[in-house]
Structure 1
Amino acid sequence: MHRVFCSRWVVSGVSLAVGIGVGATLTCDRHNKPQDGGLLDRIPIIPIPSVNAASEISPYQPGHIAVNKSTAAMKYGFPSLSNIKTRESYVTSYDPRNRTAAWVIEQLNSETLTGTSDRKNCNFKEDETVHVYHRSNNSDYKGSGFDRGHLAAAANHKWSQKAMDDTFYLSNVSPQNPHLNQNAWNNLEQYCRSLTKHYQNVFVCTGPLYLPRQEPDGKLYVKYQVVGKNHVAVPTHFFKVVILEKPRGDIELRSYVMPNMPVDEKIPLERFLVPIESIERASGLLFVPNIMKRTSSLKAITTGP
């Protein structure tokens, strides 16, 4: 059930603020285009269907208590169920065809961001838990023109050197435009870390997108480059879905998409906010039903029948 109160959506206790600005979490205006020199015009528009998330709710079973940081990251469930791998403090779903993750989820708070771990002690490495036919290696990136872009960022896991080391598995990496990786995308990662000052927990899900674009013949094609002898897929875009948890249990949701190309870092991050439904539709993942299940069960526990 969707209720609308002024510029804020309340979906079974999940707060989705609407608009543009520092506090914006979800924009509803799908017609007005930002004045950014046409950059976002090059992001393919994804048709957004109507969503009745309440119909997808099933009872949540609160019997599994998180015992470490990787399982804590899964508080709001799995966006998909294929090839799940757990690391020291993140969980990922690996895509063997594209040789990169479909998604990575991590939990950020003041504890995970504090510590003496140093990325200078880390090296990118093959993930030997992935079959040799389906994994990437460092030679795939050499001379490719792309960075080995972290999905779960190294700086998010300073609490443990092992946790930081785990972010250097190539299964947590996608080919990323160097200018994007080192500038606008880095700004988004830093912004996610800064949110821990204002929220009790920040859950971040990151992944690649392979979006269609219209070719001269008027038809839509999904077209992307591959690099290296293992044909590692180069995403056309990247997404971040950020679940913000307040001490009183309120939830805010923010979702971002950036093209895998040079992006002017002066463009405000709010310009890259997109409706969560657009990411769910393009990626084949589901976030809203999981959040609905969790928040509904918590509401039932705290308020009673």
Structure 2
Amino acid sequence: MKRTLTFLFILFSIAAQAQYWLPKSSGEIVKHKYYTLSYNEEEEQANWVAYKLTSKMIQGLAERKNNFKADPKVSTGSASLADYKGSGYDRGHLCPAASMKIDQQAMSDSFYMSNMSPQVPAFNRGKWKSLEAKVRKLTLKNDSLYVVSGPVFKNMKGEIGHNKVSVPGYYFKVIFFPRQKKTLAYLLPNRKIEKEIDTFIVPLDSIQSFSNVYFKGFDNAL
């Protein structure tokens, strides 16, 4: 009995830790196999998308199919592909497709519209893409990381589509290093950026106050 209780305690502790590192905000929590998000119905996109990234996930062989689609798990209905058509904005991944190569389901799930946010093309294909690549390099060095990405609904650039998807003024990316118990946070404007990525490193508190997404206790959880 004692051995069974110990085993159950370990399982409970692991499960609690896995949930504890998720940020806190308003919105509907939606869980997919390899990432979790908080959906903001008013802005028609996620408040944040969180996932654990491992070397195995990056080095997989799943192929990108670009199968963008509505997310059936969002109870109020997610944004649609039509919302972005002719808008002039990219369907910017919050959880990158290139980080979901572990299997074809993971790759396909990364194309749910709940994982998209309207990004200026020069931003999405420029420094945002570079930052995603940097996170993958850091993962290969550290074996695994926790990553949270999201839009900041300030200095908005208007709305797009029938569902009136908000165009955020900024984006954040927060990276947690389990071994070092260290946090690295970025806050970037949704526009073409010429400066180096690390110019946009900010204290984690800045992300919390600017975005209303809270990360209290993350370091302890790791």
Q: Please give the TM-score of this superposition, normalised by the length of structure 1.
A: 0.65
Task: Provide the residue aligned with 2:126 in structure 1.
Answer: 183
In the TM superposition, what is the alpha-carbon distance from 1:245 to its structure 2 partner?
A: 1.9
Please tell me the residue identity of whatever aligns with 2:167. Answer: V
Establish whether residue 227 from structure 1 lines up as the match of residue 171 from structure 2. Answer: no
Contact 2:182–2:219 (Cα < 8 Å) also in 1: no
Please tell me the residue identity of whatever aligns with 2:48. Answer: W
Q: Secondary structure at the match of 1:242?
A: strand
CA distance change for structure 1 residues 110 and 73 in 2, over 3 Å: closer, same or farther? farther
Contact 1:140–1:227 (Cα < 8 Å) also in 2: yes
Q: Secondary structure at the match of 1:123?
A: coil
Task: Provide the residue aligned with 1:97 in structure 2.
Answer: 42
Please tell me the residue identity of whatever aligns with 1:127. Answer: D
Please tell me the residue identity of whatever aligns with 2:212. Answer: G
Establish whether residue 262 from structure 1 lines up as the match of residue 187 from structure 2. Answer: no
Q: Secondary structure at the match of 2:185?
A: strand
CA distance change for structure 1 residues 225 and 164 in 2, over 3 Å: closer, same or farther? same
Which residues of structure 2 form unaligned runs of 5+?
Answer: 1-9
Contact 2:146–2:177 (Cα < 8 Å) also in 1: yes
CA distance change for structure 1 residues 232 and 105 in 2, over 3 Å: closer, same or farther? same
In the TM superposition, what is the alpha-carbon distance from 1:72 to its structure 2 partner?
A: 8.2
The 5 Å alignment of 1:126-165 reads: 126-131=70-75, 134-165=77-108
1:193 to 122, 136, 142: 136
* In 2, Cα distance between equivalents of 1:230 and 1:170: 12
* In 1, Cα distance between equivalents of 2:110 and 2:154: 26
Establish whether residue 173 from structure 1 lines up as the match of residue 116 from structure 2. Answer: yes
In the TM superposition, what is the alpha-carbon distance from 1:240 to its structure 2 partner?
A: 0.2
Aligned-residue CA RMSD (Å): 2.1
1:83 to 28, 37, 44: 28
In the TM superposition, what is the alpha-carbon distance from 1:73 to its structure 2 partner?
A: 6.2
* In 1, Cα distance between equivalents of 2:34 and 2:102: 10
Establish whether residue 273 from structure 1 lines up as the match of residue 201 from structure 2. Answer: yes
* In 2, Cα distance between equivalents of 1:141 and 1:183: 19
The 5 Å alignment of 1:1-305 reads: 63-66=12-15, 74=19, 76-80=21-25, 82-119=27-64, 121-131=65-75, 134-212=77-155, 223-246=156-179, 250-264=180-194, 267-287=195-215, 289-295=216-222
Contact 1:237–1:258 (Cα < 8 Å) also in 2: yes
Contact 1:83–1:95 (Cα < 8 Å) also in 2: yes
Contact 2:57–2:101 (Cα < 8 Å) also in 1: yes
* In 2, Cα distance between equivalents of 1:157 and 1:73: 19
Q: Secondary structure at the match of 2:27?
A: coil
| Structure possessing the higher radius of gyration over alpha carbons | 1
CA deviation map 1:211-235 (0-9, x unaligned): 25xxxxxxxxxx4410011100000
CA distance change for structure 1 residues 154 and 82 in 2, over 3 Å: closer, same or farther? same
